[in-house]
Amino acid sequence: MSPGVSPRRGGRAAGVARGEAFELRVDGGRVPAHAGETVAAALLAAGRRALRWTAGRGEPRGVYCAMGVCGECIMVVDGEPGVRTCVTLAAPGMTVQTQHGWTAPEADDATARAGGAA
């Protein structure tokens, strides 16, 4: 049997077993996650689709390729900007922030205070 798949009942898979539950801190709130899930998977399961906003137009972006190539799912994870959440495993106590453009929120704030564009 494949890992994570529950035993079969009547010739059909009974469901997917999920890892141990914990919470992520996301933009000041709490989001449920399970061991073995990526950050993006936990956010999608919680109903969140927009993971970052573009710098120029302020448009939402979310999971696109789901394999770490496109960068549409980047967020600030534990203070590090530009983390591809579709390939980053969620961990208990992890702090995640929405990213605006390609920089960390603090960098955007400093740029705005200096009168520049983020």
pLDDT digits (tens, 9 = 90+) for 34-77: 999 999 999 999 999 999 999 999 999 999 999 999 999 999 99
* Cα–Cα distance, 92 to 31 (Å, whole number): 11
List the domains of the chain with CATH numbers: 37-44+51-105 (3.10.20)
Q: Give pTM, 2 decimals.
A: 0.75
Q: Using CB atoms within 10 Å of the CB of residue 46, give its burial: 0 to 12 exposed, 13 to 18 middle, 19+ buried.
A: middle
